[in-house]
Structure 1
Amino acid sequence: MNREELISKWLDNNLNPQELEAFKRLEDYDDLVKLNTNLQAFKADDYDTSKELETVLSAIKTKKVQPNTHWFKPLMRVAAILAVCFSLYYYTTTLDTTITTEFAQKTTVELPDESRVSLNAKSILEFNKNSWKKNRSVRLDGEAFFIVAKGSSFNVETTSGTVTVYGTQFNVKQRDNYFEVICYEGLVGVTYNSIETKLKPGDSFLIIDGKTIAKEKENRSTPSWLNNESTFKSMPYKTVIAEFERQYNVDITLLGIDSTQLFTGNFTHNNLDVALKSITLPLHVTYSKTKNTITLRGE
């Protein structure tokens, strides 16, 4: 039995045990059940047959008999079922897949073409599996490292700009007032303010607070965060603090510290005390901890 027949019998509550198991194995089973649950909110109110019959009989006494329309209600029922089926099909085929990471969490996602995406902490990736063959495109809010399978053009859309892949391996980081793309292999195009910049292996594209920042050649073969370490070279201290908060799920308060001063160094993602020393000792900063709140004080 094909997919449409299973859905139709399911809507009529007419599935035998074998058909029910086949229906549960459908790829979009969870979406179908969710949509059906939502549609229950649109069911009509309970119908009082006796009361309505009295109303109709009273109306017959004072009005002429109307033409027979017994065919109309079944037709409307068929139309309603068709409308529900169409809405169900449209909903399930246009639904996006969304992958989200929380504070201190990373994950790896395999796309429909076997491309792989590694998501850094506090990031969101969205794509549509049903339209993937026609449009290899993802939306990113956060940071991700991509290894793209060969094929048609591949786009990463962010609120800051669009990254078009001509190669296979690159990193995209889009945060508040921060947009960075690093090419590790192949060729990558970055469109920002309607202007495209081509990146070769080792090249970077960096915008901080709306300004283009020049960077030295990237020597690593993959971003450091994949190995649970964040590395910075002449980056504003506020950028370092924001990444620290994402990796450790803490709130950091700066007292007497210039958040725009540049920082060069790194911190690990798996030892809070060691990481704190890594971002405070180079700047002669002291710190204190209270639960999930950390206060940094300048000298």
Structure 2
Amino acid sequence: MKREELIKKWLDHNLNTEELKAFKQLEDYNDLIKMDTALKSFKAPEFAIDTSYKTLKQHLKPKPTKTKQWLKPLLRIAAILAIGFSIYYYTSTLDTEVGTLIAQQSTIELPDNSIVDLNANSTITFNKSHWSNNREVKLQGEAFFKVAKGQKFDVITSEGVVSVLGTQFNVKQRKSYFEVTCYEGLVGVTHKDKTVKLKPGDTFQIIDGKLLTTEIENTTQPQWLQGESSFNSIPLKHVIAEFENQYKQKIITENIDTSRLFTGSFTHNNLDLALKSVTIPLNLSYSKSEKSILLKRE
């Protein structure tokens, strides 16, 4: 039997009589016996984990620096001030936005007690915190303004800026449609770097990119505030667009020239009557489905 096998079996205490005799004949037999005796008498030193950790921790723990203790309260104060300033800045620059849905109107009171009547499917945006120094609103859609007297008041639209001091006026800004009508005071309309002054009854119109002149208004407020949309020689496509703002119906046209001019009005609270008010003068007919209306020639 090989030497390695004898030693392995000896370590496992698995030698028979003949194998034991062979093991004793090995040249390093005495050395193996001495090594075995030494290993049996060897005892590892006791190791106390908790005690050793406490000793090590004393060497690792940084010593407090007296010169930096005064920084802690200052850093806390600085953090509180930074958070407070951030909250103030955020809330003071936050705009207020008010919008209406289709077939909905709303009245808004501005910080200076100016009143805005918002027509259907329209939105205004303004900043309450900066209002005393900057009377400014952004408009998408149509609104009637009763402006309290004071500093300049601006209505900003994608088509132009309307500026007043204290007056009553109506602004309508829809797709390819911009109209400003003055009902009281004096209104300045700036469009493409040109300013026009409007007196009571004057109307400024840009429709499909063309500047139009209209007759003087004799009313004290727009008719839509009374539940009726009125038009004076306005292309039919803009009448249809306004119809869709007042009724939750999609208008589909069939073989109709939507550039035809329409003069008249339609009510906001009776669908069939409104349809007849538009279709009869233009010799059109209509048919209704659940969510849409088809307009066609008779």
Normalization by structure 1: what TM-score?
0.75
Match of 2:103 in 1: 104
SS of the aligned residue for 2:264 comes to: strand
The aligned residue for residue 87 of structure 1 is: 86
Matches within 5 A, 1:282-293: 282-293=281-292
Is residue 121 from structure 1 mapped to residue 123 from structure 2 by the alignment?
A: no
Taking the aligned partners of 1:199 and 1:271, their CA distance within structure 2 comes to 34
**Matching residue's letter, 2:267:** T
Contact 2:167 2:184 in 1 (8 A): yes
Q: Which residue of 1 aligns with 2:230?
A: 231
Q: 3-state DSSP class of the match of 1:183?
A: strand
Partners in 1 of 2:295 and 2:266 — Cα distance? 16
Q: Using the alignment, how far apart are the partners of 1:253 and 1:70 within structure 2?
A: 77
- Comparing 199-208 and 125-134, the one that deviates more: 125-134
Amino acid paired to 1:214: T
1:66 positional shift: 10
Query: Comparing 75-84 with 265-274, which one deviates more in the overlay?
Result: 75-84
Q: Which residue of 2 aligns with 1:27?
A: none
* Corresponding position of 2:130: 131
Question: Residue 259 and residue 233 in structure 1: after superposition, are their counterparts in 2 closer, same or farther (change >3 A)?
Answer: same
Q: Does 1:165 align with 2:164?
A: yes
Extract unaligned runs of 5+ from structure 2: 1-52
Instruction: Give CA deviations for 1:131-152 in whole Å, capped at 9, x if unaligned.
Output: 1111111111110111111111
Larger CA deviation: 283-292 vs 155-164:
283-292
Does the Cα contact within 8 Å between 1:167 and 1:188 map onto a contact in 2? no
- 1:287 and 1:71 map into 2 onto residues whose CA distance is 83
Structure whose alpha-carbon radius of gyration is higher: 2
Following superposition of structure 1 onto structure 2, how do residues 193-272 of structure 1 map, counting pairs within 5 Å? 193-272=192-271
Partner SS for 2:85: helix
- Opposite residue 256 of structure 1, the aligned amino acid is N
Judge which range, 183-192 or 288-297, deviates more: 288-297
Alignment map for 1:18-97 (pairs within 5 Å): 75-97=74-96
Please give the alpha-carbon distance, in whole angstroms, between the structure 2 residues aligned to 1:203 and 1:148.
17
Report deviation, 1:181: 0.3
The structure-2 alpha-carbon separation of the partners of 1:103 and 1:253, relative to structure 1 and needing over 3 Å to count, comes to: same
Instruction: Name 1:22's counterpart in structure 2.
Output: none
**In structure 2, what is the equivalent of residue 42 of structure 1?**
none
Stretches (4+) displaced over 4 A:
64-77
Indicate the percent of aligned positions where both proteins have the same amino acid: 58
SS in 2 for 1:282: coil
User: Aligned partners of 1:235 and 1:244: how far apart in 2?
Assistant: 13
Q: Is there any run of 5+ residues in structure 1 with no aligned partner, and where?
A: 1-53
Q: What code does the residue aligned with 2:261 have?
A: L
Partner of 1:49: none
Aligned to 2:224, what secondary structure does the other structure show? helix
- Count the aligned residue pairs: 242
Q: What SS does the aligned partner of 2:280 have? A: helix
Cα drift, residue 251 of structure 1 = 0.9
Instruction: Determine the structure 2 residue equivalent to 1:145.
Output: 144
Deviation at 1:198, TM superposition (A): 0.3
Q: Provide the C-alpha distance between the structure 1 equivalents of 2:71 and 2:141, rounded to a whole number of angstroms.
A: 54
* Residues 87-122 of structure 1: CA deviation (Å, up to 9, x unaligned): 100111111121111100011111111111111001
Q: CA deviation at 1:166?
A: 4.1
Distance in 1 between the 2:85 and 2:147 partners? 34
Q: Which stretch has the larger CA shift, 174-183 or 67-76?
A: 67-76
Partner of 1:182: 181
Deviations 1:56-113 (A, max 9, x none): x99x87xx98978666666544433322211100111111121111100011111111
Q: Distance in 1 between matches of 2:236 and 2:166?
A: 32
For residue 281 of structure 2, give the secondary structure of its aligned residue in structure 1: helix
Instruction: Find the residue that maps to 2:279 and give its secondary structure.
Output: helix
TM-score w.r.t. length of structure 2: 0.75
CA contact (8 A) 1:289 1:295 kept: yes
